[in-house]
Amino acid sequence: MLERLYKPSKIKASISIFMFVAAILILLPQMSGVLESLNGHNITPDSDFFYNAGRLHEIKMTYSQEGINAYVWTRFSYDLVWPLIYLFFMVATLALMLDEKTKFIRYLPLIAVNFDLLENITCSLYFKVVENQFVASLASIFSAVKWVMIIGILLIQITLFIRVLYKRISQ
């Protein structure tokens, strides 16, 4: 199944770009609004590049019980959909720009998504089940790795896009 996803296709890339932009413009603000209406703010751990156990505890303490329930619910609903959307976007657009020597890069988004999901699981555990330093520390490590991977992939995409654009202009 993944091999079909990794095959270059302008149609897949176009659909992925549309879905990515739509999610950023519609889905993200909607989920942010749900948390803001319950807590009076929309601060979540996953929006911080790096946080430690203390910061995670501070964030949790600003949540009402309804806010905690909503946060956990969004991690296992919306935050399962969003990583799939950005995975599709990253893979589909990278597939168009990678050559045989660099095609290993296409697996990086899958690693980023896995760390995103691990962060969601550990944050949910911390917020709802087991509030301890170890779980909070794992969440912060998973978050940092996720963000490094996502930023790295976006920089690779920009670099590849500029390379493709330069080749087309110079022909």
Query: Which pLDDT tens digit goes with each residue over 36-52?
Result: 777 777 778 877 778 88
Predicted confidence (pLDDT) per residue in 82-91, tens digit: 999 999 999 9
Which pLDDT score is estimated for 2? 60
Report, as ranges of residue numbers, the positions in the chain whose pLDDT lies below 70.
1-3, 5
pTM score:
0.86
Instruction: Find the Cα–Cα–Cα–Cα dihedral 95, 97, 100, 103, rounded to 10°.
Output: -50
Which pLDDT score is estimated for 103? 78
Q: Where are the domains of the chain?
A: 2-170
Residue 127: other Cβ atoms inside 10 A? 22
Instruction: Find the Cα–Cα–Cα–Cα dihedral 98, 103, 104, 109, rounded to 10°.
Output: 50
Contact 112, 149 (CB under 8 A): yes
